[in-house]
Amino acid sequence: MRAGFALLAFGALAACDSPAIGDARAQALLALPAPQHYAERQVARELVGQCPAYAYDEQLGDALTDRRIRARQQVYAQVKGATDLEADVKRRSLAARYGSNDACRILDGETAAGTPLSVMVRKRG
């Protein structure tokens, strides 16, 4: 009974898409190969951890993962090594593009440019 209830509750939560799932940036993120997709999300989360002006959209992250599972696309556990490599490339690319490792500056720039990474973050306040 408990297992059935837990499965039902998880199913109900997974069915709740984030309003941002229809955003073109979210669709672009979803279309990326799995290692790049998860690297974008990983780097976005890291940057938010270093910049209190931004928050990470956990609901959208869950919705994207749910969509990938339903589409039978690769998930993070299957591509962790490649994701780590892609995330390192992404970090270096962002530092070169913005001439800095300043997380707030990078997030401001990515948000202004409307990149797929930017859909995973939102300005606080």
Using 50, 70 and 90 to split pLDDT, how confident is the model at 2?
A: low
Count of domains for the chain: 1
Single-letter residue type at 75: V
Q: According to the model, what pLDDT value does residue 90 have?
A: 98
pLDDT in tens, 70-115: 999 999 999 999 999 999 999 999 999 999 999 999 999 999 999 9
For the chain, the farthest-separated pair of C-alpha atoms sits apart, in whole angstroms, at 56
- Tell me: pLDDT of 47 over 50: yes
The 8 Å CB, 24+ separation contacts for 24-29 are: 25/114, 25/115, 25/116, 25/118, 25/119, 26/60, 26/64, 26/116, 26/119, 28/116, 29/64, 29/116, 29/117, 29/119, 29/120
Q: Which domain, by its residues, includes 12? A: 2-123
CA gap 104, 94 in Å, rounded? 12
Q: According to the model, what pLDDT value does residue 80 have?
A: 96
Average pLDDT on 44-71 reads 97
Q: According to the model, what pLDDT value does residue 116 have?
A: 96
